[in-house]
Amino acid sequence: MTGATLSCELADITCLRVGAVVNAANSALLGGGGVDGAIHRAAGPELLEACRALRGCPVGEARLTPGFALPAAWIIHTVGPVWQGGHRDEAELLAACYRHCLQLAGRHGIHSLAFPAISTGVYGYPREAAARIAVGTVQTCLASVPAVRQVIFCCFSEADLAIYRELLAV
Ligand code: ADP
């Protein structure tokens, strides 16, 4: 572990003033429901144009765009796995999302980032298992990404907040 700060809070990720917010996108990167829809609405139509130019993103990978009208300077778009019962590499793919987001943030000198609970909405990943992967992967990967000093797990429900609080022991 490095001296980076890990925390969790109950918030709408579109309101967070951080270096980058992570978007739980779909592989077309052309917007959708849930957090993806909220980010596109708040960032404004320029985001869709920027996403079009990226020509999609495979599951487990990550792509960067400006934050446009968001308070966050950047948006890191990642595509989580759809939960199919747990035997289709869902855990590895979800971990890869967190790892690739951190690596992308590090390469661009982004010091703070906020993650939503990737894959736990429409994509159906069980919340507690997903949170365990999120926290464990970030804790492991931060050591090799010294540029990142602060990571916020942005929870959208009290239930998620309780899970993250327990995992982070805060
Ligand atoms: P996925 O398709 O990856 O499952 P969803 O957007 O459906 O993505 O859900 C991912 C998580 O984001 C869920 O836990 C959902 O409650 C949460 N979420 C939805 N809107 C917001 C928001 N505005 N800010 C933070 N988290 C959000």
Question: pLDDT tens for residues 63-104?
Answer: 999 999 999 999 999 999 999 999 999 999 999 999 999 999
Query: How far does residue 35's CA lie from ligand 1's centre (Å)?
Result: 4
**What pLDDT does 3 receive?**
81
- The answer on pLDDT for 13 being more than 50 is yes
- To the question of pTM greater than 0.95 for the whole model, the response is yes
* Average pLDDT over the chain, rounded to an integer: 97
Q: How many domains does the chain have?
A: 1
- Verify whether ligand 1 is closer than 6 Å to residue 67 (CB atom): no
Question: Which atom of ligand 1 is least distant from the CA of 156?
Answer: 26
> What are phi and psi for residue 47, nearest 5 degrees?
-65, -40
Angstrom distance (rounded) from CA 55 to CA 16: 27
Expressed as residue numbers, the domain containing 151 is 5-168
| pLDDT exceeds 50 at position 139 | yes
For residue 123, the domain's CATH number is 3.40.220.10
Among 10, 156, 158, 163, name the best residue to mutate to test ligand 1's pocket (greatest count of ligand atoms within 8 A of Cβ): 156
| CB of 32 sitting under 6 A from ligand 1 | no
Give the separation between CA 122 and CA 168, rounded to whole angstroms.
25
What was the pLDDT predicted at 170? 84
Q: Is 36 assigned a catalytic role? A: yes
Q: What pLDDT digit, counting tens, does each position of 107-129 carry?
A: 999 999 999 999 999 999 999 99
Q: What is the Cα–Cα distance from 119 to 116, expressed in whole angstroms?
A: 9
Q: In the predicted model, is pLDDT for residue 136 greater than 90?
A: yes
pLDDT at position 19: 98
